[in-house]
Amino acid sequence: MSRLELQLPALHHKDAAENFKNEFLEMQEPVIYGSALFDQMEYEQWLAHNTNNRQESTVSVGWVPATTFFAVRKRDQKIVGIIDIRHNLENDFLAQFGGHLGYSVRPSERKKGYATEILKMGIEYAKSLRIEKLMIACFSDNIPSIKTILKCGGVLSETKPYTDGELINIPNSEEKVVNIYWIDLKNNKNFENMTVKLRKWNETDLDSLVKYANNNNIAKWLTNGFPHPYTHENGKAFISMTANDNPAKVFAIEVNGEAVGSIGIFPQTDIHEKSAEMGYWLSEEFWGKGIITKAIQEIVEYGFQTFDIIRIFARPFSTNLGSHRVLEKAGFTLEARLKNAIFKNGEILDEFIYAKIK
């Protein structure tokens, strides 16, 4: 259920691409990283330049062969980001500071998990070029980018003062410090293990469902409908319950081929028919890796596309701070705090209401 696809720039992208560029300029961001100087050229000039630079035989003097893609959202074909994958580092600036790969997300689409999706797709493309060790650089004060690179398996190798290249003019560059990361594309277990997708539950998931769901650190944050201990009979009943949903409402969260959690969206009835409740859980050993945030973003997009709803809400316990953070990262807004609304394990707790509007 990937939300984005990489598209080679073409003439039909012109209006959307100009809108993309103008958004950066309006936000006082004159440099669009990973755009192969789109921020300095008119579209037709840049398109020809970009096309020529894909091939060794036509690459511009002083450049290396590279492929630049727009990251386009499937739902509405909006250009969300851009990424430039250099085929080699046979250029002093790239070898020192630029690396194999640069990317940007447009300002209005940040903090939605798109950077990670774009970088992962770029890494997969780099693998197709038979690049075995991938260099990525970012400024040491760019905390969101650092988190994205680490999430995708980047390993910090050095930090050093930055120097502009011949064609690059970054404001206040003399004050910048750059972090250099490497990703081993042949043996990168961290990246491979972060492959996440949503799919329907099936009978073969029973053992992993019971293994991961049978954990009081999960059950304590959920309603009493989620049992503890969690038995094979509980698992069979759950998988059977989800099998007949059409359209599907409950999905397994799969990581590296194994179901390690669950997420669902449940349209309401009567006067609340335009709302849907979202619920989820994830195996404890996968907490803190950005997996549940990505799952929430995907189920929200699926929910708004599939059901006739305009609002999706979740009801975490007041003490479940981790759930609060992932909802906020996924674009949900705290609407209410219901005092003393929950009684769980002998304790009275407040209930928070988070929601996202279409």
- Please check whether residues 267 and 176 belong to one and the same domain: no
- Average pLDDT rounded to a whole number, residues 182-187: 83
Predicted local confidence at residue 243, as pLDDT: 87
- Please check whether residues 32 and 173 belong to one and the same domain: yes
Domain containing 31: what range?
4-193
- Please check whether residues 163 and 186 belong to one and the same domain: yes
Residue 299 maps to which CATH number? 3.40.630.30
Query: Phi and psi of 228, rounded to 5°?
Result: -145, 125
- Please check whether residues 312 and 352 belong to one and the same domain: yes
- Please check whether residues 140 and 220 belong to one and the same domain: no
Task: Report percent pLDDT > 90 for the chain.
Answer: 74
User: Total structural domains in the chain?
Assistant: 2
pLDDT in tens, 332-353: 999 999 999 999 999 999 999 9
Decide which of 138, 168, 193 is a domain's last residue: 193
- Average pLDDT rounded to a whole number, residues 187-207: 75
> Has residue 171 got a pLDDT over 90?
no
Q: Residues of 47-64 as b/e, b for ≥16 C-beta within 10 angstroms?
A: bebbeebeeeeebeeebb
* Per-residue three-class SS string for the chain: CCCEEEECCCHHHHHHHHHHHHHHHHCCCCCCCCCCCHHHCCHHHHHHHHHHCCCCCCCCCCCCCEEEEEEEECCCCCEEEEEEEECCCCCHHHHHHHECEEEEECHHHCCCCHHHHHHHHHHHHHHHCCCCEEEEEEECCCHHHHHHHHHCCCEEEEEEECCCCCCCCCCCHHHCEEEEEEEECCCCHHHHHCCEEEECCCHHHHHHHHHHHCCHHHHCCCCCCCCCCCCHHHHHHHHHHHHCCCCCCEEEEEECCEEEEEEEEEECCHHHCCEEEEEEEECHHHCCCCHHHHHHHHHHHHHHHHCCCCEEEECCECCCHHHHHHHHHCCCEEEEEEEEEEEECCEEEEEEEEEEEC
pLDDT in tens, 100-118: 999 999 999 998 889 999 9
Measure Cα distances from 270 to 40, 246, 273, 275, 276 in Å: 55, 20, 5, 10, 12
- Please check whether residues 120 and 230 belong to one and the same domain: no
First to last CA, the chain: 19
- Please check whether residues 225 and 344 belong to one and the same domain: yes
> Has residue 265 got a pLDDT over 70?
yes
Predicted local confidence at residue 189, as pLDDT: 47
Predicted local confidence at residue 18, as pLDDT: 97
> Has residue 133 got a pLDDT over 70?
yes
- Please check whether residues 233 and 330 belong to one and the same domain: yes
Q: How many CB atoms lie within 10 A of CB 69?
A: 22
- Please check whether residues 167 and 218 belong to one and the same domain: no
- Please check whether residues 156 and 220 belong to one and the same domain: no
Q: Which amino acid is at 350?
A: D
Decide which of 135, 164, 193 is a domain's last residue: 193
The reported pTM is: 0.56
Predicted local confidence at residue 193, as pLDDT: 47
- Average pLDDT rounded to a whole number, residues 317-322: 90
Task: Report percent pLDDT > 70 for the chain.
Answer: 94
- Average pLDDT rounded to a whole number, residues 300-322: 95
pLDDT in tens, 15-40: 999 999 999 999 999 999 999 999 99
Return mean pLDDT, the chain. 91
Predicted local confidence at residue 191, as pLDDT: 42
